[in-house]
Amino acid sequence: MIQLNGLTKRHGDVLAVDDLTFTVRPGLVTGFLGPNGAGKTTTMRMILGLDLPTSGTATINGRSHRELLHPLRTVGSLLEAQAVHPRRSARKHLLYLAQSNDLPAGRVSEVLNLVGLSDVADKKAGGFSLGMSQRLGIAAALLGDPPVLLLDEPVNGLDPEGVLWIRTLIRGLAAEGRTVLLSSHLMNEMALTADRLVVIGKGRLIAEGEIGEFTEAGAAVIVRTPETSFARRLELSGALVEVGIDGELLVTGMSAPDVGRLAAAEGVPLWELTPHRPSLEEAFMRLTRDSVEFGAAR
């Protein structure tokens, strides 16, 4: 389990992380989302003891990272896949990590096989593609068979087969009861992988909950009708109505059957009556629209 309590980080006048409090529970994949500059990587670095918080705490199974005698046996992480000495082979890189944490040398071959790098285990890491570097980083994260995993953009650089592989692996690790914190900018992939979400913006917690809650919150009904006055009738019945650029009505607070019944009672013809549940990407954009540091011109 990962627990953050009032975690805060200042860089001079910049408040990178602002009083973050949340828990990452075992047995679930928790997606960690936010726009660029939201503070995700800084938060993960503080959890791993790479950055010291200005205030607040971050603990892993009740202990800070610096209190762990053999940290790789408790938490595995992938923050920067290509942070490997370019002249060191994949095997030697992992062997060094194993020796530093008193892990058996045989574990190196096990994780190399698990991530599909056995055939290139003795090649220098500096010649690896981004996808191969990602696999090596994941092997390092899994080396100590840890109960807790922090993975920052693990699918970056992977081909479709690799994306499917890492998704299956991550969900399998959570199903074993491990705690998994996963950061990614790929909303479609996060929707397929995560069970829960934590969303931050400008260093602050914006929302957290089961992944279905994020898309259900924006559920609406798309209505098209030649009767422009129907929008007012819907509002008088308690619905919220937005008029789209093509004249369609986006109705919230009323189900599609109720909209249909009202239209029938009022004698209003309907050209379209479609329940709409937003994608995770749409829900994310709605939640973080006021927290984007660099936005495109509109």
The domain that holds 154 is classified in CATH as 3.40.50.300
Whether residues 181 and 108 fall in one domain? yes
Claim: this prediction has a pTM higher than 0.95:
no
Reported confidence tier of residue 109, pLDDT bands at 50, 70, 90:
very high
Mark which of 178, 209, 240 sits at the end of a domain.
Answer: 209
Neighbours of 123 (CB within 10 A): 14
Whether residues 241 and 130 fall in one domain? no
Whether residues 189 and 236 fall in one domain? no
List the domain range (segments joined by +) for residue 183. Answer: 2-209
Looking at the chain, the whole-number percentage of residues with pLDDT higher than 70 is 97
Whether residues 240 and 187 fall in one domain? no
Reported confidence tier of residue 297, pLDDT bands at 50, 70, 90:
very low
More confident residue, 158 or 73: 73
Residue 294 placed within a domain: no
More confident residue, 298 or 19: 19
Contacts of 50 (CB under 8 A, 6+ apart): 79
Whether residues 56 and 111 fall in one domain? yes
Query: For the stretch 209-248, what's the b/e string if a residue is b when 16 or more beta carbons lie within 10 angstroms of its beta carbon?
Result: eebeebbeeeebbbbebeeeebbebbeeeebebeeeeeeb
Whether residues 106 and 172 fall in one domain? yes
Note whether 116 and 138 are within 8 A (CB): no
The CA distance from 132 to 136, in Å, is 6
Residue 293 placed within a domain: no
Residue 284 placed within a domain: no
Whether residues 91 and 231 fall in one domain? no
Whether residues 153 and 225 fall in one domain? no
Residue 60 placed within a domain: yes
Residue 247 placed within a domain: yes
Reported confidence tier of residue 279, pLDDT bands at 50, 70, 90:
confident
- Across residues 82-99, what is the average pLDDT? 92
Whether residues 165 and 74 fall in one domain? yes
- Total structural domains within the chain: 2
Whether residues 242 and 203 fall in one domain? no
Whether residues 258 and 182 fall in one domain? no
Whether residues 130 and 176 fall in one domain? yes
Closest CA to 45 of 25, 69, 75: 75
Closest CA to 93 of 51, 122, 58: 122
